[in-house]
Structure 1
């Protein structure tokens, strides 16, 4: 298959290199910085496994990148999705499938607004890999796999065939969901990150300087876990008012095999792939302050949590925890 990966971030590196390393697909990349990329990508994986992927093309213009692609996979933050869809729209083959590596950043809402109504769309509920760039354009680390992926497909006459193609491409079993709401309204990063950020810095104001950078997951607190559980309960109430199958989005307690806030906090602290990730802060004279320009803020509040927040209000769902944390986060990034 001819596959185009859009985006040169952590996931763009790993997905492009991992898929290309299989040697069964022609993989191209759409990025703003093609001059920084090698056509050979090295991906370091767990258990000392290394993948070497050869890219067939690295482009900054959409026409060359997507015009003959059968699958276009966006590995992009929420703020880049709309512009990229507008760039590629004129060059898409009518039979091409356009999708996103994670749907909670508003992909389906924006794609349905921009692309032709017959264009096949797909999106994953959670990212397939935990990824980190080591040497930009040359080497990245695949830090963790998912045992199974959840996928939504819209405007497709043969969704099972597309599901199987993506499963083979990512070498991971994929469960097909019934509605894009089941992936667009996620209780993953859009709830996970804001709950922790709020617990860390809800009392921050200009002039407060911290003497250390806490680890984001390894020091996860019971307060953050309880906020996460509360937000998830409000999301689950919203899902009951939408055309989704009951249980299609597992509660966070079920997903993380926990029973309450203390056990959830312990679980999040113990996940191997989450270790070594620092909280988003920047150095200043005398210490550190929160980095409100980090993707934890600029991605998860206006392009993740925002869609959940908007829909709870549209459906009249009481969401006091979501409201509190969303309003705090949006105030911090303004």
Structure 2
């Protein structure tokens, strides 16, 4: 297939390598094409090459990237999704498949005009593995490959086709999800990251609070965070039961995903995950100490385009989520106003009826 990968970061580089390795004609649409080499590699933690492939083209020319593409894999953060959708729209042909990796964050709404034009939009419930750039434009390190990937599409009837293409391109087992909302409501980072940030910085007052040191984000995870996470996770599950016109059986509880349903067990599990070790909490050093980095994606993506989406769904269908709302209430006075936030109304989804019509197609 003619595959275009939009975004040259961790996941984009990894996906481009895999799809090139499996015999596809791969183009990367990136801002700095001159920094990308033809030969890309994925390595393990010891630096051993485990996947390799050659790019056909690296470009920042939208027409070259999208006009003949049969499959487009979008790996930019959620706040850049609308810009991506608008940029590629003039060049899309009916039948083109657009994959959002991962598929939460409301990105599907940004591609509403593309669907109307005849495009098929699909998403993965989670990324195929943890990935970290080794060298921009050349290599990425991947750990913790998932046993199975889960895919959903809009319109729904194309899910099986999209699932098969992902399975072939990544050489990984891939299964269908019954409804796209299984992606939209996946509680992963929108609950995992936001609960951690609140418990770490619950006493933070801009201009007054400074920290000498801050715990590592995952490796020094706390029971306090787990307790709050369990409450918010339960509210997401209740929301899924509230949406009884959809099959949301694959919005898995984080307890089930991490295979621990006790506070202590869950905390120890998060602390022990190899791919999470050493990852710092997003902070900025100023003259008087450390303060939270409010421009970090942990804030600007996981609140603005993670928890915001889930809470808007809850509000549209009249489901109370007090613990999740408490996270937003804490974040609101801290929010960096230069970063946008997701709003269904921006895409013409103003009521429960609009919402159901969009996700039932």
Kept in 2: contact 1:120–1:156 (CA 8 A): no
Mapped pair 1:255 → 2:254: no
Q: Which moved more, 1:42-51 or 1:294-303?
A: 42-51
Mapped pair 1:19 → 2:19: yes
Q: Which moved more, 1:142-151 or 1:293-302?
A: 142-151
Kept in 2: contact 1:89–1:115 (CA 8 A): no
Q: How does 1:97-136 map to 2 (within 5 A)?
A: 97-116=97-116, 118-136=118-136
4+ residue segments displaced more than 4 Å = none
Q: In the superposition, relative to structure 1, how do residues 246 and 34 fare at CA in structure 2: closer, same or farther (>3 Å)?
A: closer
Is there any run of 5+ residues in structure 2 with no aligned partner, and where?
Answer: 337-361
Alpha-carbon deviations, 1:268-327, whole Å to 9, x = none?
Answer: 111111112111011222432111101111111111111101111222211111111123
Q: How does 1:79-158 map to 2 (within 5 A)?
A: 79-116=79-116, 118-155=118-155, 157-158=157-158
Kept in 2: contact 1:309–1:326 (CA 8 A): no
Q: How does 1:100-249 map to 2 (within 5 A)?
A: 100-116=100-116, 118-155=118-155, 157-205=157-205, 206-242=207-243, 243-249=245-251
Is there any run of 5+ residues in structure 1 with no aligned partner, and where?
Answer: none
Separation of aligned partners in 2, 1:47 and 1:170: 21
- TM-superposed CA distance for 1:264, in Å, is 1.0
- TM-superposed CA distance for 1:70, in Å, is 1.1
1:272 to 271, 274, 288: 274
RMSD between aligned residues? 1.7
- TM-superposed CA distance for 1:80, in Å, is 0.8
Kept in 2: contact 1:101–1:128 (CA 8 A): no
Separation of aligned partners in 2, 1:324 and 1:86: 34
- TM-superposed CA distance for 1:48, in Å, is 5.0
Kept in 2: contact 1:117–1:155 (CA 8 A): no
Kept in 1: contact 2:194–2:303 (CA 8 A): yes
Secondary structure of the structure 2 residue equivalent to 1:4: strand
Separation of aligned partners in 2, 1:157 and 1:192: 31
- TM-superposed CA distance for 1:168, in Å, is 1.4
Kept in 2: contact 1:5–1:29 (CA 8 A): yes
2:289 to 281, 287, 291: 287
Secondary structure of the structure 1 residue equivalent to 2:144: strand
Separation of aligned partners in 2, 1:170 and 1:2: 15
Aligned to 1:68: 68
Q: In the superposition, relative to structure 1, how do residues 150 and 252 fare at CA in structure 2: closer, same or farther (>3 Å)?
A: same
- TM-superposed CA distance for 1:178, in Å, is 1.4
Separation of aligned partners in 2, 1:277 and 1:287: 19
Secondary structure of the structure 1 residue equivalent to 2:275: helix
How many pairs were matched up?
333
TM-score by length of 1: 0.95
Aligned to 1:33: 32
